[in-house]
Structure formats: structure tokens, C-alpha cells
Structure 1
Amino acid sequence: MKEQSKLAQIEKEMIRYKVKILGLSGIRWPDQGEISTSNNNILLYSGNPAGEHGVGIIIEKTLRKSLLIWKPVSNRIISARLNSKVKKITIVQCYAPTETATAEVKDEFYEQLTSVLSSVPKSDILLLTGDFNAKVGSVKTWPTIGLRGTGTRNNNGERLRDIAEQHGLVIGGTIFPHKEIPKYTWVSPDGRTKNQIDHICIAQRWVKSLTDVRTGRGPDAKSDHMFLTADIKIKLAAKRVTEGSRLKRLDVRKLRTEATKQEFVPSVQQKISRRQNLNQKLTQDIYRQSGEEVLGTVNHQKKEWISDETWAAIEQRRIIRQQLLISNDPTLKDSHSSICRKIKKMARKDKRKFYNDIARDAQIAAEQNNARLLHRKKDILSNKNHRKLRPIKDKNGSLLTSTQEQLRRWKDYFAETNTHVQNTELEDQEPNIREDPTIERGAPTIREIVEAIKKLNSIEQRELMAFLQSCLKQEKLQQPTH
């Protein structure tokens, strides 16, 4: 996920295969947070300051209102709770230690995972997903493991089976009849070793809602893991949006052109002349209607910075990868490695071009005295335009990820900062101001004034000169005439 354009590639595969919720393992992003992507999807992620391991969940934009609360547990575990028309759904995304990790590291991870699963309400539909590095095998341990698994069970597989039995989960990849190829979730770089180590588990009482679990060989985002998908028939419920909140912002920038003004003003005048007994509400409706007809609304879609040539190369890499899965040809391996390097270079080049174009637009905006556009471009160049919805923290520094907790925290914060003194006697008292002996109380010298003016920016200098000129004018007016 650190590679440029990787998130855009993943989102394109989500659109191609109509994936609503996607779990990510090994994203290697530092810290925790919540961001809105270029496609208006929500990405929840959890990591550590060093950017080790890392997990995340992408929620498709049509379901973003279904998100109730999420919790970044560690750099290996993240959970999210969503609303549905049946029950609440809790998704726990994991990135387990490898088979060669020490027993202490494994024990710490599974103890933490057990604590998270135990805190999930019993009425919720529980989904446990992620890269467990666990081979569960095909030995039936009903109702946790079916006969449709593959491989030989290892130590991580035993640990996953135990935690699934403890919390009443079914490992979905072991209960559906598929050939061996759709079962493999990981392929080694040489193409010889294949394993089923990624899993999707669901609560036993809701196992009938799970209609299929299999890997997709078509999706490609340059990963040695396959795209593991699950079909679940549960309707998610979003909060109902009122009509008033659906109004889009008008594109008032078009009013800068004279032709648009000449079209907009007569449209408003004509509508006003047809009405009688106008009030504020009717006037607003007239301006709104004329604005939608003449100006249109602003499209908030972010500009795509990846060029068509780069997307074509990504599509070519996907085709080569599909051929490589069928035939272990050394020529195809070389072609795949070559095009991966090519895509990296093309993505970096597209990114540089994107920022150079923004810098050019900012320069043109500055020359045209377009302050709004200039500040907008400046925010993009300074990386402030990335819509980061990082959760706020409580007094102890813990993240608050639910809307109610955040609103309660804001209420307490403003109550603390906006406290008013009720006792009028305190207001009448003289303030006890301590003088700083290091500050000189005499009049500033001309040199000190010049040095202070030099430290001001150009806008502040202009404002200061305008203020001084107004003071001089007032002083001249107050002088007596002879």
C-alpha cells in the first residue's frame, strides 16, 4: 500500500467486481485514522508509528452511512460495526504472525484477538477475516471446519480452529465445494508453492447467509495473495437522508463571465415578475431554481492523477498475471517483472505531472488575483486537501470513533473553554497583571520599527500602510484652518 497508485488500483478492482466491503492486511501505514478516498469510499486503517504490518477496511461509498463505530485495536487487528436491516454486523480484520514467529508473539496476538471477539455483542453478525497464515486442512472438525479445505494443518491452523470453536465461528473456505485452484489464497514468487492461508469466518447461527467463499484470479493489485471473496446475503441499512440535506452547491464561479451574468439575471427577474407577495422562502427558491438551470451544481469528484497510459499498463500486467497462473513460463515471469517496474516509473511520473499542473494553475490564479483558487491549489500542494477524518481523542488520549462519543467530547470541550464568570464582583476587580522586567517600556526606536515591518508578509504590510494613511487623513482633517 505504500507504493504510489496502489490504493487507486485496489478501488478499481472493487468497482470491477462489485465489492462493497474490503479487508486489507499488511498495508504498512503508520498510526491509525479514517480517510475519504478519491472515490468517496471510507478507508479505516490501524498501524503503529513504525509502519509495521498494518490492517485496514474499505467501505464502499453507498454504505458509508451504515458505519456505526470502528476501533483500531493494534497494527494487526481492526474492527468495524455496521448497521443492517437484520442485525448489527461486526467485522474484525486481522493480520496474524507467520508460522515461523515465536510462540510469545503468537500468544500475544491471539490473546488480543480473543479479547476483541469477546467484546462483540452476542446479537451481532460476526465476521472474522484476514491473513491468518493458517493452513486448516481438510480434516473435518464440524461445525468449525468442513471437508472442503486444502493442505495440511499447521500450528497457526490449530490456533485458528481453537479460537473459532471458542467463539462459535465457521471457516467459510472449508464448506463450499470448489476445485483446488479457487481455494488457494497465496502463491509463492516461483509459482510452485500454493496455500490456503487467508480465511473468512462467520458466526454459526448466520452461516446460511454465507452463500459462497472463493478466490478470484482476475483481480490484480500486484500482490502474492489472491482476492478472497465471500457472498453474504444481508441488506445493510443506511440512515435516511432528508431532502433538505441533499441540496448541492451551485457553481457560482460561472458568474464571473459576462455571458453567464446576462443569462442568469433575466432568468431571476422573469421568475420574480410572475410571483406576487414574495417572501424570503419564495425568493430563495427562485434564485435556487435559476441557479440550477443556468449555473449547474459543483461536481466534487476528485481529479484522477493516474494517466490512461498507466491504466493500460496495469491492465496489461493483469493479463500477464492470469497467463502466469496457468503457465509457469520464465518468459512470462520476466515480462511481469518488467511491466511492474514500468508501472512504478509511470506512476511516479504521473504524480510529478499532477503536482506540476497544480503549481502552474496556482501561479495563474495568483496572476489573476483569484485568491480562492490559489488557496485551494496551495492546500493540495501542501497535502492538506486529503480528506482525513482522523478520530478525535478523549482526555486520556484514547481514540473516539463513534459519532455520539465525538459529539459528547466536543460538548465537554466547549463547556470547559467557554465557561463564563457568574460572580459580578470578580468582573469589577482590578486585574492583577505582573510586569515582566525584561520588557523595555520606553518608546520603540526607528530601527526596531523597521525590523518589525520587515517581518510582516506582503498582505500585512499593505494593511499597515492603508491604516497609516487613514490615520494621516484623519489628523489633517482635525487640524484647524487659518
Structure 2
Amino acid sequence: MNNFSGSLRIISLNARSLNNNKFAQLRIILDTLAVDIACIQETHWIDTCKINCKGYLLFNSGETEKNWCGVCILIKKNLSGYISKFDGVNSRVCSIKVNMRCKTLNIVNIYIPVNYTEKQPFFIFLDEYLNKFPKRENLLIAGDFNAKVEKIDIKNHISLGSGTLNIKSDIGGKLLLKLCHKLDLRIANTFFEHSDKREIYTYFSQTYNTWSQIDYFICNRSTMSWIKNIKVLHQVLFNSDHKIIDCSIVIDPKIWHMRKKRNGKSLSKRPKLDIEALNDHNIKTEYIKQIRNNSHKFIDQTNNLSSDTLWENTRDIFNNAASNSLPAKMNYPDWISIESKNLISNLVGSGHYRRNRAMYILNDISHKLRRDKRKFLEDRATEISNSFSAND
């Protein structure tokens, strides 16, 4: 990724419909703030689709007919190669999976119903959906939860910090705390205190003329250590009664090495191949056969391909032919005997063993390697001694 420093800026916003004017306003905000990923609720867009915007890819999840919900995720194009999956569940839930070498980050965008009668079944569905993500993977949930959690609940819930200013919990807040306690999740907003209350409140009710906190970032325990700050951008103006929540993530550079994808396949380190094996007539014949079989797929398309694509396809033909026909190169020292080489080859090429079987083979290899080295040194000493005797 170009100029990637191991940090991500993720925002969440309930847009209250995302028409052309609001979308243009949102694009300016994303460019100004240098946002990497944006989770937007209430787009009021229909269908589940992927849209290519300037500088961003937009994944929308909506209904087939007129939609009063709709959720979407915008991702910077230089990050799009690391997104392995988009799951448009319905008009209220969607998610993306970000693949890294050592970790996987799942980002879920949620818009929870306002109606109390719909909250209970939705939280049951949400519980089932979040349980599908493996525990070893990192999880970050953003969205409009339409839930208030009060400060007094801090003593009873490890999921809640002291950075909440709601006076009283509502039904949605109690359901949210119950879900977080069951799945061992953290309401990350509440763990960051700010002296300015405007950096905490997320929603202004025009009916009651009051501010409250109902939009959150929620994560599992492992993701919590990545989050450096969460605050409401009260100074950023957008035509909505919700404010933009800004989440800054800094990931350890030791684990933030993402596998960029090309043509849908992740790039991995190729094993070294024994080119000298082409001296064998059978291997050489198989190698030529593989090249011919792979090249037939592109013969009819060469006239329509660009020079870069043609070069990539040609390179892939030879690489795939070599991988399918040539053996892996094993650099053994000259003093290792053929018997020890065969033992090592059998261990490497036979897949995973049970622990006791593997230990037995490894001990056997170590014993024979020591024997080979000792015999090699004795033979060399004998040769040197004989050379001196011949000179005398």
C-alpha cells in the first residue's frame, strides 16, 4: 500500500438519507479528513451493490424496493485490494473482512430500529450474526444503535467505560449491555473521556431539544488495544441530526502486513524450484506439456489484451508450469548422506504428523546427521593425512 503507516481512520455517521447533495458533501468531508473507511447508516438506497467512486469504493446493502434504511461502507481504493469479503446481510447490517498476514479485522456497519417492538428480535438476530465471526479474529462494530447506556451501569459491566453522559438507560441500552456482556464486547466510545461534552454526544433530538449518545464503536477485547482515540467531530458540519464519530486505529507494524491481491488470489512467497531437474527427460516433457496447456487459454485473447496484461499472463503461464512440474529445491550440505536426504524429504513432503510420530522422525534425522558429519570429518582427516604421507 502506498505511504501506509499502519494506522486507519474510520468514521461512522447516520446520514438521514444520502441524496446527491449530501453525497457530494460527504465526499468533501472524506477527502478533507483523509478517512480510510466510512460506515454510513440510513442511506435510503435500494439494492445491494458495489459502486466505483473517485478515490473510494462504495458497498451498499439495501432492500429491492423502496428503502427507509440502508447501510453502506466506503473504502479508500488503496485499501480495496485487502478486502476479501463484503457481506450485505440486509438494509440494517453489512460487513467487510480485511485480511492481514497475522490478523483479520471484521468491520460491521449497523443501524438498529428505533421502534422498541423491533429491537428485541433484532438483537436476537444480531447475537446470532456476530457469533459467526471466529473469536480469534478482530471485530469492530460501528453504527447507530438507538440505545442509551447510563453511567451508573459502569460498576456492573466491564463492557462500559466512564465516558458516557446519558442520564438514564433505555430498553435499547439494556439490550445492548446484555449483548456486550454475553459476547465479551467493549463499547469503545465510553472508554475515552473528553473535557468537552460536544466530543461525546452524537445525536440532537429536535423534539426534546436535548443531546444524547446513541452512536457507538463496539469491539472485542483484542481490537480495543488498537484503538487510540474516539471522539465526535462536532466542528464538522453535515446536514443530519447525528454527528460524525471518528475512530483512530494504530496497529502494531509487526502484524499489519496485509496480503495484497491480484486477480482475486493472494500473493504468497513462491518456493524455490530445482531448475536442474529439467535435465531429466520426463520432467522436461511434463514442463513443456504444462506450458502448452496453459497457453491455449490465452491464445484467443491476445489481440484484445494490453501489453501489461499480456506480460502478466505470460509470466503466470511459465510460473504455473514450473510449480506443477518441477520439484522443490533443497539445499543440503555436501556431507549429508542420501539416506538422511530421503528421511528429510519424506518428512517435508508427507504433510502433518502426529506429535509422537514427528518427534521420532526428527530424532532419527538428528542422529543420522551427526553420524554423517562425523564420517565426513573423519574422511577429510584421512585424505589430509594420506596427502602428507605421499609427500614424504
TM-score by length of 1: 0.48
Which of 149, 152, 164 does residue 164 from structure 2 map onto? 149
Describe the SS at the equivalent of 1:89: strand
Q: Are the equivalent residues in 1 in contact too, given 2:201–2:211 (CA < 8 A)?
A: yes
Give the equivalent residue in structure 2 for 1:134. 147
- Quick one: structure 1 residues 85 and 217, their matched pair in 2 at CA, closer, same or farther if it must change by over 3 Å? farther
Please tell me whether residue 204 in structure 1 is matched to residue 221 in structure 2.
yes
Q: Are the equivalent residues in 2 in contact too, given 1:182–1:214 (CA < 8 A)?
A: yes
- Quick one: structure 1 residues 189 and 168, their matched pair in 2 at CA, closer, same or farther if it must change by over 3 Å? same
Q: Equivalents in 1 of 2:163, 2:178: separation in Å?
A: 18
Amino acid at match of 2:170: N
* Number of equivalent positions: 242
Q: Equivalents in 2 of 1:36, 1:220: separation in Å?
A: 25
1:314-353 equivalent positions in 2, closer than 5 A: none
- Quick one: structure 1 residues 71 and 148, their matched pair in 2 at CA, closer, same or farther if it must change by over 3 Å? same
Please tell me whether residue 5 in structure 1 is matched to residue 50 in structure 2.
no
1:138-185: CA deviation from partner (whole Å, max 9, x where unpaired): 120442001221112111011111111111110011111213221000
- The alpha carbon displacement at 1:241 in A equals 6.0
CA RMSD across the alignment:
2.4
- Quick one: structure 1 residues 66 and 236, their matched pair in 2 at CA, closer, same or farther if it must change by over 3 Å? farther
Which of 17, 27, 51 does residue 35 from structure 1 map onto? 51
1:283-340: CA deviation from partner (whole Å, max 9, x where unpaired): xxxxx9xxxxxxxxxxxxxxxxxxxxxxxxxxxxxxxxxxxxxxxxxxxxxxxxxxxx
Amino acid at match of 2:134: P
1:406-441: CA deviation from partner (whole Å, max 9, x where unpaired): xxxxxxxxxxxxxxxxxxxxxxxxxxxxxxxxxxxx
Q: Equivalents in 2 of 1:10, 1:85: separation in Å?
A: 32
Q: Are the equivalent residues in 1 in contact too, given 2:227–2:248 (CA < 8 A)?
A: yes
TM-score by length of 2: 0.58
Give the equivalent residue in structure 1 for 2:134. 121
- The alpha carbon displacement at 1:69 in A equals 0.5
Give the equivalent residue in structure 1 for 2:205. 188
1:182-223: CA deviation from partner (whole Å, max 9, x where unpaired): 100011337931000000011113311111111001322311
Q: Equivalents in 2 of 1:13, 1:119: separation in Å?
A: 33
1:294-309 equivalent positions in 2, closer than 5 A: none
Give the equivalent residue in structure 2 for 1:237. 258
Q: Equivalents in 2 of 1:22, 1:35: separation in Å?
A: 14
Give the equivalent residue in structure 1 for 2:31. 15
Amino acid at match of 2:162: L
Q: Equivalents in 2 of 1:157, 1:236: separation in Å?
A: 37
- Quick one: structure 1 residues 108 and 190, their matched pair in 2 at CA, closer, same or farther if it must change by over 3 Å? closer
Give the equivalent residue in structure 1 for 2:378. none
1:40-59 equivalent positions in 2, closer than 5 A: 40-48=55-63, 49-59=65-75
Q: Equivalents in 2 of 1:236, 1:45: separation in Å?
A: 27
Q: Equivalents in 1 of 2:189, 2:18: separation in Å?
A: 29
- The alpha carbon displacement at 1:3 in A equals 2.1
Please tell me whether residue 69 in structure 1 is matched to residue 90 in structure 2.
no
- The alpha carbon displacement at 1:17 in A equals 1.2
Give the equivalent residue in structure 1 for 2:191. 175
Q: Equivalents in 2 of 1:86, 1:220: separation in Å?
A: 38
Q: Equivalents in 1 of 2:112, 2:261: separation in Å?
A: 38
- The alpha carbon displacement at 1:8 in A equals 2.3
Q: Equivalents in 1 of 2:100, 2:22: separation in Å?
A: 30
Amino acid at match of 1:173: N
Q: Are the equivalent residues in 1 in contact too, given 2:203–2:214 (CA < 8 A)?
A: yes
Q: Are the equivalent residues in 2 in contact too, given 1:63–1:238 (CA < 8 A)?
A: no
Structure 1: gaps (5+ residues) = 243-287, 289-482
Q: Equivalents in 2 of 1:220, 1:65: separation in Å?
A: 31
Structure 2: gaps (5+ residues) = 1-16, 264-306, 308-392
- The alpha carbon displacement at 1:85 in A equals 4.4
Amino acid at match of 1:194: W
Q: Equivalents in 1 of 2:145, 2:183: separation in Å?
A: 16
Q: Are the equivalent residues in 2 in contact too, given 1:214–1:229 (CA < 8 A)?
A: yes
Q: Equivalents in 2 of 1:210, 1:89: separation in Å?
A: 13
Give the equivalent residue in structure 2 for 1:60. 76
- Quick one: structure 1 residues 195 and 60, their matched pair in 2 at CA, closer, same or farther if it must change by over 3 Å? same
- The alpha carbon displacement at 1:42 in A equals 1.1
Greater relative contact order (Cα < 8 A, sep 6+): 2
Give the equivalent residue in structure 1 for 2:280. none
Q: Equivalents in 1 of 2:120, 2:157: separation in Å?
A: 25
- Quick one: structure 1 residues 58 and 236, their matched pair in 2 at CA, closer, same or farther if it must change by over 3 Å? farther
Identity rate of aligned residues, in percent? 26
Q: Equivalents in 2 of 1:145, 1:102: separation in Å?
A: 22
Aligned structure 1 segments of 4 or more residues deviating by more than 4 angstroms: none
- The alpha carbon displacement at 1:108 in A equals 2.2
Q: Equivalents in 2 of 1:220, 1:106: separation in Å?
A: 30
- The alpha carbon displacement at 1:129 in A equals 1.0
Describe the SS at the equivalent of 1:5: helix
1:257-277: CA deviation from partner (whole Å, max 9, x where unpaired): xxxxxxxxxxxxxxxxxxxxx
Give the equivalent residue in structure 2 for 1:88. 104
1:271-420 equivalent positions in 2, closer than 5 A: none
Give the equivalent residue in structure 1 for 2:328. none
Give the equivalent residue in structure 1 for 2:180. 164
- The alpha carbon displacement at 1:25 in A equals 0.7
Q: Equivalents in 2 of 1:20, 1:46: separation in Å?
A: 19
Q: Are the equivalent residues in 2 in contact too, given 1:44–1:56 (CA < 8 A)?
A: yes
- The alpha carbon displacement at 1:2 in A equals 4.2
